[in-house]
């Protein structure tokens, strides 16, 4: 028979193995393979640095390199992305990739014996989530490889935020590039395809890092330290090479560079792309979210200045207040003056600013200003409805109107985060023995806020300990969980936990009614 008369096609090898190939499609596995590959590359670079500088921790990076490369190769060869990824698969992939990143980052700390297991976990989570809190009392005692490893963990962690903004958050409508996440007109989708958006926003991030490094060198910072601080400033991470953070340099020029870079890192990446690529500088001020961001920076700086005075002169006082405000709102966490050393009222305002955060789709942590503005619009509308029950009005942020599902998702996200804060503060104050009973609530609340906001540190005046060095094992692990959930977002974590629980129940056979069996 000829082909035109309907001859049967001989089954191929692919036909018989199609089901097996489909079973090897996994978003989570591919994401974990990517994380392992990036970790292996970073470990290789740090290994070379350790060998060139004569440091003694080369074995830690060699071990990490081998394990990460083996994991990347194993997952990369076995799994591939499905043609269409479901939202739940994306969220689960984000969670598992984040957990793997924390585990791989902790390896050099554990293998070298530099930190205890709980401290190593905390340090790794702080790196991946770009939180400036650290268990290393004096980073200056670390080798060049470990310093670069800490900084690289924050820089790659922030790069993961770019992927989160483009790929995962638009599915939730709580801060991605869709109109429901970034509602201002100046921050619409920057490209029709996710791959193009990632390239463009990644270019903005890399460009900011390069500019920061060049600027730090230009104002007198040593080259290696400039590299480290460029990585941790652009990522809003806040790890430093010195125990006194940027204040240890005692340089007004370095502080000014940090202020500019931190403020830029807190700006929406799509808005920054539009300004840089299209030369639409007027788009900055036309964005209602950017105007609110600028206003919050100024207000917090003024409150800080009023609380601490100008004993060292007006220019110095203004610069220190601007630095403290920008560091807090961008959730970078650099210090030139400890929170414990300033006015308690000003410190409380700074912590409140950390919780609020900067613009949506930026590299900073916190709730994000656009969500706070949406909640304010919702509350305002509901109050007006008490006087005019028949009023039909949309919640607005500037000139943009939000649909009810968008508003509900944003309010739900903030509610979940606030619930996480309450639970975390209760656990810290009730369980960790390092917290003194007389100031436990002050310590617990400040630690919980700055953990979820990925800011830190939280040594508020009146607190009884230094965070995280003064915490016990339970406190560090609790703070680590709060930091991770705060960066990944509560919703993906809950979805991943629910899906994992659902899959585990499959292992337990359950009797079903006959009616269901008959179907």
HEC readout, 324-361: HHHHHHCCCCCCCCCHHHCCHHHHHHHHHHHHHCCCCC
pLDDT at 195: 79
* Average pLDDT rounded to a whole number, residues 167-196: 58
Q: How confident is the model at residue 215 (pLDDT cuts 50, 70, 90)?
A: very high
Is residue 344 exposed (0-12), middle (13-18) or buried (19+ Cβ within 10 Å)?
middle
Whole-number Å distance between alpha carbons of 133 and 125:
10
The model's pLDDT over 332-372, given as tens digits with 9 standing for 90+, comes to: 989 887 776 777 778 888 888 888 889 988 899 888 888 88
Confidence band of 22 (pLDDT split at 50, 70, 90): very low
- With both helix axes pointing from N to C terminus, report the angle between 440-452 and 473-488 in degrees, rounded to the nearest 10: 40
End-to-end CA distance of the chain: 42
Average pLDDT estimate for 255-269: 94
Candidate ranges 36-50, 273-287, 340-354, 444-458; pick with highest mean pLDDT: 36-50
pLDDT of residue 189: 55
Q: What does the pLDDT average to over 204-223? A: 96
Burial of 77 (0-12, 13-18, 19+ CB in 10 A): exposed
Q: What is the mean pLDDT of residues 371-380?
A: 87
Q: What is residue 17's predicted lDDT score, i.e. its pLDDT?
A: 41
pLDDT of 154: 96
Task: Please give the Cα distance from 317 to 310 (Å, whole number).
Answer: 5
Strands 395-397 and 400-402: antiparallel
Our CA angle for 414, 417, 420, nearest 5°, is 155
Q: What local confidence, expressed as pLDDT, does residue 431 receive?
A: 75
Q: For residue range 434-457, what is the model confidence (pLDDT) as tens digits?
A: 666 556 777 788 888 888 888 876
- Please give the Cα distance from 499 to 88 (Å, whole number): 8
Residue 305 confidence (pLDDT) above 50 = yes
CA distance 172 to 174: 6
Burial class (CB in 10 A: 0-12, 13-18, 19+), 404: exposed
Residue 506 has pLDDT above 60, yes or no: no
Each residue's pLDDT tens digit, 116-160? 999 999 999 999 999 988 888 889 888 999 999 999 999 999 998
pTM for the structure as a whole: 0.86
Residue with the larger pLDDT of the pair 50 and 459: 50
Cis preceding-peptide flag for 122 (omega within 30 of 0): no
What is the percent of the chain with per-residue pLDDT over 70, rounded to a whole number? 82
Question: For residues 345 and 47, which has the higher predicted lDDT (pLDDT)?
Answer: 47
The SS3 of residue 498 is helix
Report pLDDT digits (tens) over 94-115: 889 999 999 999 999 999 888 9
d(CA 260, CA 294) in angstroms, rounded, equals 12
Enumerate the β-bridge partners of residue 395. Answer: 402
**pLDDT of 464 over the 50 cut:** no
User: What pLDDT, on the 0 to 100 scale, is given for residue 463?
Assistant: 41
Residue 251 exposed, middle or buried by CB count within 10 Å (0-12, 13-18, 19+): middle
- Of 16-30, 228-242, 256-270, the range with the lowest mean pLDDT is 16-30
Report the mean per-residue pLDDT for the chain: 82
Q: What angle do CA 253, 257, 262 make, to 5 degrees?
A: 145
């Amino acid at each position: 028979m000829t082909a035109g008369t309907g001859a049967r096609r001989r089954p191929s090898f692919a036909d018989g193995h199609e089901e097996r190939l489909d079973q090897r499609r996994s978003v989570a596995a591919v994401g974990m393979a990517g994380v392992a590959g990036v970790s292996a590359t970073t470990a290789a670079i740090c290994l070379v640095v350790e060998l060139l500088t004569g440091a003694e921790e080369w074995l830690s990076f060699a071990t990490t390199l081998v394990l990460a490369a083996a994991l990347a190769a194993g997952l990369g060869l076995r799994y591939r992305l499905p043609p269409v990824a479901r939202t739940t698969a994306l969220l689960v992939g984000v969670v598992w990739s984040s957990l793997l990143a924390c585990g791989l980052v902790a390896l050099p700390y554990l293998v070298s014996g530099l930190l205890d297991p709980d401290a190593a976990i905390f340090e790794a989570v702080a790196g991946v989530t770009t939180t400036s809190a650290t268990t290393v009392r004096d980073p200056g005692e670390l080798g060049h490889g470990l310093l670069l490893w800490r900084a690289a963990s924050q820089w790659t962690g922030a790069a993961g935020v770019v992927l989160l903004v483009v790929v995962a958050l638009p599915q939730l409508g709580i801060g991605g590039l869709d109109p429901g996440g970034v509602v201002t007109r100046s921050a619409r989708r920057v490209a029709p395809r996710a791959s193009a958006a990632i390239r463009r926003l990644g270019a903005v991030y890399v460009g900011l890092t390069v500019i920061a490094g060049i600027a730090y060198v230009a104002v007198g910072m040593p080259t290696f330290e400039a590299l480290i601080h460029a990585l941790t400033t652009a990522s809003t991470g806040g790890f430093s090479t010195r125990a006194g953070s940027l204040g240890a340099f005692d340089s007004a020029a370095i502080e000014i560079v940090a202020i500019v870079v931190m403020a830029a890192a807190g700006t929406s990446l799509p808005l920054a792309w539009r300004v840089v690529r299209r030369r639409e500088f007027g788009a900055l001020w036309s964005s209602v979210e950017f105007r609110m961001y600028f206003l919050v920076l100024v207000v917090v700086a003024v409150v800080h200045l009023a609380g601490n005075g100008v004993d060292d002169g007006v220019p110095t006082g203004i610069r220190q207040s601007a630095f403290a405000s920008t560091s807090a709102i961008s959730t970078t966490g650099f210090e030139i003056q400890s929170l414990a050393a300033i006015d308690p009222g000003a410190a409380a305002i700074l912590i409140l600013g950390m919780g609020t955060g900067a613009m949506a789709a930026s590299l900073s942590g916190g709730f994000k200003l656009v969500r706070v503005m949406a909640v304010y619009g919702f509350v305002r509308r509901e109050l007006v409805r008490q006087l005019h029950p028949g009023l039909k009005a949309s919640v607005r942020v500037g000139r943009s109107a939000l649909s009810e599902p968008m508003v509900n998702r944003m309010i739900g996200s903030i509610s979940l985060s606030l619930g996480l804060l309450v639970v975390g503060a209760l656990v810290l104050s009730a369980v960790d023995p390092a917290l003194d009973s007389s100031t436990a609530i002050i310590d617990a609340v400040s630690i919980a806020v700055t953990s979820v906001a990925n800011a830190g540190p939280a040594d508020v005046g009146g607190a009884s300990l230094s965070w995280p060095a003064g915490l016990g094992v339970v406190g560090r692990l609790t703070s680590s969980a709060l930091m991770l959930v705060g960066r990944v977002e509560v919703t993906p974590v809950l979805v991943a936990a629910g899906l994992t629980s659902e899959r585990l129940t499959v292992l337990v056979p359950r009797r079903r009614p006959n009616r269901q069996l008959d179907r």
